[in-house]
Each structure stands twice: as structure tokens, then as C-alpha cells.
Structure 1
């Protein structure tokens, strides 16, 4: 039997280790969980340190295609001021506390996502990303997805709200079939809020106020799920493959 040299044997072991590592990488390795906490439909909040350590649950797990899955059941626990349960991440600062940044400068969140299951039938809609007004505790911008095309023929709409209860919707013509990947960006830069999908800006608005604080949210905040007994039966599933937040 021909013996393998020590050098060649070490090289083979290194390649094998690399292949094993590549097949065991956790879901959505390009998400920096250090700057996120997780709100779940069972009423629990999961810290960034737990997410970094590999936390999983029925509502937050590695999908078969490598995405980070956020599952929302038809009914569940709700947060203060909301009538809908959620499986959604909330931005944290580097010290582990809740982020709250000024709208000056450049603030962007760019995510690759897919909605793989949509509850609610033709009226189903889920919020996949938010710029949240921390000062007034209301969303400034919500990007929502619906599997059923809207009146513009697209699968997205935007809620824009400068004052509580005074939000308006803008339906978009941008298409993304259920299960297909797309990239979206929410930005509040130079005092202007903007939304882009697949590299094209689809919405822009300059708020009339100033001096407020904000943070990003992303995941699955289902707009047709309701408060009630929590279950583990999937109703809507959103997957995130990458999340990138920039503040300058």
C-alpha cells in the first residue's frame, strides 16, 4: 500500500475540515446578531447574546435553504400598542441596549429576503421591515409584502406615518412571487426617508419634523394575525438571508 506523505495528509485533512465547516454554517451567517434582539409571538424577548449563541425556537430557526426563518402563527401574544403578534428583530446598540439614533447622517438597512408562506389569503399582508420612531413610539415607514398582487400589480406597499393614527399607504408595482428572493433597503439619510427594492428607489419622503430618534426592525410582523392563544402552527414565514445596517 502506498503511504501518503505527512504534508499531503495534512492538506487532505484541511480540505475535509473546510468542507465540513461549509456545510455546518448556521443560518444567515451574514446577519450580525450582536445588534439585534428578537420579539416572539409567545411574548418572549430574546437577547442579542442568546441570538449570537445560536438560539432557535419554533418561531426562529434555520430554514432548509440556509435562510433565517421568522415564523408567525395565526394567533399569539402582542406587544404594547399592537394587535398583531410578531417574530421580529429590534435593533440594538453595540452596548446591548435598545438602539435610538438621530435621523441626521446616513442610516440604512439592506436585507435579502423571501416570504415563503403567507397567511390571510387574498387579504394577507406582513411587515418585513420598519424604520421606527422611538420618540413617539410609532412606525415612520413600514414595508409590507402580500402574496396577492395589489391594485398596482405589485406585491409591496408602504405605510408612512408621521403622527399617530395619520398613516397613509402607497401601493407599489414591484413584483416578487411567493418564495422568491428580493433585496430591499430602508433608509433615513439626510433627513429623508426612502425605500428601494432590488436596487431601484420606489419611495421617498422628507418628514416635516426633526429632532426625533429611530431604530430599525425586520422579520415577520403579520398584519392579519391576531391576539389570542399562541400556537406553533405556521401561518406566515419570512426568511432573511442577509442583513446589513449602516450608520454614518
Structure 2
């Protein structure tokens, strides 16, 4: 077969084909991405097998889950906690007065007990004694001496007291200002007075029969009293309740000197023997003076020291 015969057979077959040419735009700027796919149907050929029909997946229906209802839980109401028991007013930080002051050479007389026979607290019991008339103050740096006007009194007085009496070991102290030097140093404050007769003794020198001298508060007048009340020296004319002060009583050379806040305020020309110091709250009032039996006199002692040389 010659060339003309071959062309004559091929041409009719080529004529049956339809060629579609799609123009492609080439970007002129930037970075060229992957060539775009030609649109669907760009090539048509009667002999091309059509695409398979899409597969339709039927929806999945999950079985119904029954609702589980939990049984009701009853509400349990817990009872309110019981309030903590109130501690007594007098103990502070678990301390005893004997941990605040050195009480080794003292005993305590209280406004309690039998008539004309008040309670006395001696060593060694006094070291750990605590009561409603003798207790640490709220800050734990002092001891409160508290006496009520209707309290029990000693046989030699008509006034109640919460007061320390000087000792020498297990013996009652007794000395003379005709020899040696005998000194009481006390820092204290009077914090309460009875209303009708606001008188109170906070410190004193006593002998076997009576007081030798007293440091006494009458309202606002803080004074030194001696010669059975016939003589007095005012050491603070406007004392305010609750104000701490430093008191130093020096008995020597047949006289007694009283220093108030470091200044010599009184000099008493008295001498004797069988003397001893006392300190605390010694009321000078009682119901016979018009005060209520529950009227109170209080003294706080912050430091207490006695020396004999």
C-alpha cells in the first residue's frame, strides 16, 4: 500500500475526533503556583467511560438509651457545733501569779473565809495559787489584787483585803529601821475604787500592832499617811486610775523615805522594830460606809522586790 492509500484510510478517523483547546493564562508577577486544573468537560470523547455513580451511605440510627433516674438522696443537716466553753476571766495564758512576781517571801490574805478569819495562802501553795481575787492581768505582765467591800476581814480590821505580807522563808518577817537598810520597790497601778468611799491602801509598813505608814489613794489624791492618820503628805494630787507608778520605800536611819516615780516625796521621822512590808489591795470601805458589798477595789502589781542590807 502506498502513502496515498494510508492517508486515505487515516483521515476519516481523525476527522471524527473533536479537539477542544482551553487557553492557559500564565501569571506575569509573583510566584507561579501549581497549574490550574482544566474545567470539567474540557475533553469530550464519545468513547470515554462515564464516572461511577456516587455511593449513598444510609444514616446510622443509634438505639435509644433509657434515662436512668437516681434515687433522691435525703439532705443531712449536721447540728451546729456547741460553743466552746468560756474560760474563767482570771487565768491568762495558763500563767500563775507566782510566774509573774517572785512570791517566795510572801503570804497572801484574801477577802474570803470565815468571819474574822480570812483565808491565808502560804508558800509553797502560793507559787501555783490562782483565784478570783488574785490573778494575772489581761496582758500577763502584772498581777491583779481584788477585794470587795463586803469581803471577810481580819480580827484587827473592819476592811477587807487581797494583800501580801512579807515573810523570811517560812517565818513572818520582822526588822527595825534603826539598823540596816530595808527597801520595798514596787511598780503598781490602782485600777478600781469603790464608789461611795473611794479609798484604798496599795502599800504599807506595819508592825506587830498597827500600821506605821500607808500609801493610800483617796479619790484622786495619792498620799503617804502616818501617825495613825494624823499626818499626811500628798505625793500626787491628780492620780488617774490605771496609771502605773514606781514606788520605793526606804526604811533606814530611824526614818522612812518615800520615792514616787524616782523623786523623794516624803520623809517620815519614825523608828521602830518588828516592822514588815505589805502590798496589794486593802480597801478602806465596807457596807457600813455605804458601799455595796460587791463594790470592788483593785490594784495591779507589775514588779515587786524587797531587799535588806
Shift of 1:48: 2.3
For each residue in 1:167-213, what CA deviation from the matched residue of structure 2 results, as whole angstroms up to 9, or x when unmatched? 42333335431111111112211221111111111110222x54x22
Q: Secondary structure at the match of 1:34?
A: coil
Long gaps (5+) in structure 2: 1-92, 113-117
Q: Secondary structure at the match of 2:171?
A: coil
Shift of 1:233: 4.5
Long gaps (5+) in structure 1: 1-22, 150-154
173, 196, 214: which one pairs with 1:142?
214
The answer (yes or no) to whether the contact 2:286–2:293 under 8 Å persists in 1 is no
Aligned partner of 1:238 in structure 2 is 299
Q: What is the rounded CA distance, in whole Å, between the counterparts of 1:88 and 1:166 in structure 2?
A: 20
Shift of 1:29: 4.0
1:160 paired with 2:204, answer no
The answer (yes or no) to whether the contact 2:188–2:244 under 8 Å persists in 1 is yes
For each residue in 1:23-67, what CA deviation from the matched residue of structure 2 results, as whole angstroms up to 9, or x when unmatched? 665447452211000001111000021111x10111111110221
1:206 paired with 2:269, answer yes
For each residue in 1:56-81, what CA deviation from the matched residue of structure 2 results, as whole angstroms up to 9, or x when unmatched? 11111111022111001121111122
Aligned partner of 2:15 in structure 1 is none
For each residue in 1:108-133, what CA deviation from the matched residue of structure 2 results, as whole angstroms up to 9, or x when unmatched? 10101011111134x41110001112
Q: How many residues align?
A: 208
Cα–Cα, structure 1 residues 138 and 167, in superposed 2: closer, same or farther, change >3 Å?
farther
1:85 paired with 2:157, answer no
Aligned partner of 2:199 in structure 1 is 125
Q: How does 1:38-49 map to 2 (within 5 A)?
A: 38-42=108-112, 43-49=118-124
Q: Secondary structure at the match of 1:51?
A: helix
162, 173, 181: which one pairs with 1:99?
173
Q: TM-score, normalised by structure 1?
A: 0.76
Of structures 1 and 2, the larger Rg is shown by: 2
Q: What is the rounded CA distance, in whole Å, between the counterparts of 1:181 and 1:28 in structure 2?
A: 20
Cα–Cα, structure 1 residues 238 and 181, in superposed 2: closer, same or farther, change >3 Å?
same
The answer (yes or no) to whether the contact 2:96–2:130 under 8 Å persists in 1 is no
1:31 paired with 2:97, answer no
Q: TM-score, normalised by structure 2?
A: 0.62
Aligned partner of 1:65 in structure 2 is 139
163, 170, 195: which one pairs with 2:233?
170
Q: What is the rounded CA distance, in whole Å, between the counterparts of 1:199 and 1:28 in structure 2?
A: 27
More strand by share: 1
Q: What is the rounded CA distance, in whole Å, between the counterparts of 1:187 and 1:86 in structure 2?
A: 24
The answer (yes or no) to whether the contact 1:120–1:224 under 8 Å persists in 2 is no
Aligned partner of 2:187 in structure 1 is 112
1:74 paired with 2:149, answer yes
The answer (yes or no) to whether the contact 2:96–2:135 under 8 Å persists in 1 is no
The answer (yes or no) to whether the contact 1:71–1:234 under 8 Å persists in 2 is no
Higher relative contact order (CA 8 A, sep 6+): 1
